[in-house]
Chain A
Amino acid sequence: MIRVVLPAHLRNLARISGEVSLDVTGTVTQRRVLDAVEERYPMLQGTMRDRRTGQRRAYVRFFACEEDLSNEPPDTPLPDRVTTGEEPFLVIGAMAGG
């Protein structure tokens, strides 16, 4: 079971609280985790990744196991501790003022 933590605005949009738990088949990658999140919560399509290109939105970051994975290729396997559910995959809104 993969654990995903979404930022508050996206939890509100999807009307969820707490973490999201997902089953991901095959190699667990950023792309597959986000695909699974969007499949369960279609209103999140386009909020983390560009709909056309699939690229991460500029002010969205992906962290796990105290590492910034934002710029990792989306098909790179995520750390084992994310795969086993020991650590969550974090979707973060970048720090900014205003």
Chain B
Amino acid sequence: MSRVRLLVGTRKGAFTLTADGTRRDWQVSGPHFGGWEIYHINGSPADPDRLYASQSSSWFGQIIQRSDDGGQSWQPVGNDFAYEGEVGEHLWYDGTPRPWEFKRIWHLEPSRTDPDTVYAGAEDAALYRSTDGGQKWQELTALRTHKSGPQWQPGAGGMCLHTIILDPVDPNRIFVAISAAGAFRTDDGGASWLPINRGLRSGQIPDEDAEVGHCVHRLAMHPSRPEVLYMQKHWDVMRSDDAGGSWHEISGDLPTDFGFPIAVHAHEPETVYVVPITSDSEHYVPDGKLRVYRSRSAGDEWQPLTTGLPQADCYVNVLRDAMAVDTLDDCGVYFGTTGGQVYGSPDGGDTWAPIVRDLPAVLSVEAQVLP
């Protein structure tokens, strides 16, 4: 029987959660790298035992860890993330120019085919690639040096490149998203980048439909329809049917369309999950009720999923990288909260149960299916 492994990054360490295919009984391993912030752990689709973890702290900076045995042992690999060439400037909160300054790696995205190739999204925003298992990192400079770069500004969480989607069909196409610059696409392996923000409207910026400046929180794609993208923006849930060429709103009947994560069912490309949050000034679920909303129609019509989730006195948030699906049948859906709970649903969201309740604040969740 297949097994499932969840890779959980928290404010104070990494955890792995494993279960058999029934996904009822879970074993918790951790904390790994206790006391460090683990923004993200991710596994190679080509070799699920090859894991990469972003380990960082305000004191000691950025470390990248690699495991070749599914997280039983780890080795620190390269942590030299240099901005290549002229560093350049972006806008600071007060509107003055400020040089790019490396803070941390938010997201690690291993290649779909090569376990030694992995992409890393940085704060301040830049995209890096390693082709030797994380030992050396090379910046894909054309993104940071895009002509709109001097106009990019950080969101409250920093100017982070937090989403990397490698196109499953076209190896030269990559989608990324940056807070608060927006979404970008390359069709030439990173040699050039196109802002893909047409149709976004953001009331928090002076020009509501500017080319850049939108606080995109997360992008999601189903691999069978790589031209269809879903977006949770600061406010608004959006969809593009042309690989980001244009966007339209699909918030529909959501109780609020502010939120962070968005995920697509593993087998139903039009089934989408979000976790609405009260507002941009109240980063917790509305009305004390933890509700995942599911649309089976690629947006607009949403159904609250509540069975097994707390429906009173709950005031947690679910961060942008903290929701994932597995590829078993039924599709498993998982998310972690800022309150340290990780919830799982083995039936596509119909029913939920806590897998673990008292971890540090959860920053990221990834799901792997193991033979």
Q: Please report A residues at the B interface, Cβ cutoff 8 Å.
A: 7, 9-10, 13, 43, 45-48, 51-52, 57-60, 93-94, 96
Closest A residue to B82 using CB positions: A52
What are 5 A-B interface contacts by the 8 Å CB criterion? A9-B36, A43-B63, A46-B61, A46-B62, A46-B79
Option from A43, A57, A60 in Cβ contact (under 8 Å) with B76: A43
Residue B58 interfacial (CB < 8 Å)? yes
Residue B80 interfacial (CB < 8 Å)? yes
Residue B57 interfacial (CB < 8 Å)? yes
A57 touching B61, Cβ below 8 Å: yes
A93 touching B59, Cβ below 8 Å: yes
- Chain A residues contacting B79 (CB-CB under 8 Å) are 45-46
Closest A residue to B12 using CB positions: A98
Closest B residue to A93 using CB positions: B59
Task: Report how far A51 CA is from B350 CA in the complex, Å.
Answer: 49
Give, as a whole number of angstroms, the nearest-CB distance from A94 to chain B: 7
A59 and B58 contact, Cβ closer than 8 Å, known pairs A9-B35, A13-B63:
yes
Task: Identify the interface centre among B35, B61, B62: most chain A CB within 10 Å of its CB.
Answer: B61
A57 and B59 contact, Cβ closer than 8 Å, known pairs A9-B36, A13-B76, A43-B76:
yes
How many B residues have CB within 8 A of the partner chain?
13
Give, as a whole number of angstroms, the nearest-CB distance from A17 to chain B: 16
A51 touching B80, Cβ below 8 Å: yes
- Chain B residues contacting A94 (CB-CB under 8 Å) are 59
Task: Report how far A83 CA is from B195 CA in the complex, Å.
Answer: 57
Task: Report how far A60 CA is from B62 CA in the complex, Å.
Answer: 14
Give, as a whole number of angstroms, the nearest-CB distance from B248 to chain A: 41
Closest B residue to A57 using CB positions: B61
Task: Identify the interface centre among A9, A60, A93: most chain B CB within 10 Å of its CB.
Answer: A9
Top 8 A-B pairs ranked by shortest CB distance?
Answer: A43-B76, A47-B60, A59-B59, A93-B59, A46-B61, A46-B79, A47-B61, A59-B58
Mask: chain B, 94-123; 1 = CB below 8 Å from A; 0 = not: 000000000000000000000000000000
Closest A residue to B77 using CB positions: A43
- Chain B residues contacting A9 (CB-CB under 8 Å) are 35-36, 57, 59-60
- Chain B residues contacting A51 (CB-CB under 8 Å) are 80, 82
- Chain B residues contacting A59 (CB-CB under 8 Å) are 58-59
Closest B residue to A10 using CB positions: B60
- Chain A residues contacting B82 (CB-CB under 8 Å) are 51-52
A47 and B63 contact, Cβ closer than 8 Å, known pairs A9-B36, A13-B76, A52-B82:
yes
Task: Identify the interface centre among B35, B59, B79: most chain A CB within 10 Å of its CB.
Answer: B59
Give, as a whole number of angstroms, the nearest-CB distance from A30 to chain B: 17
Q: Which residues from 54 to 70 on chain B have a C-beta closer than 8 Å to any C-beta of chain A?
A: 57-63
Task: Report how far A44 CA is from B129 CA in the complex, Å.
Answer: 21
Give, as a whole number of angstroms, the nearest-CB distance from B55 to chain A: 9
Give, as a whole number of angstroms, the nearest-CB distance from B227 to chain A: 40
- Chain A residues contacting B57 (CB-CB under 8 Å) are 9
Q: Which residues from 9 to 44 on chain B have a C-beta closer than 8 Å to any C-beta of chain A?
A: 35-36
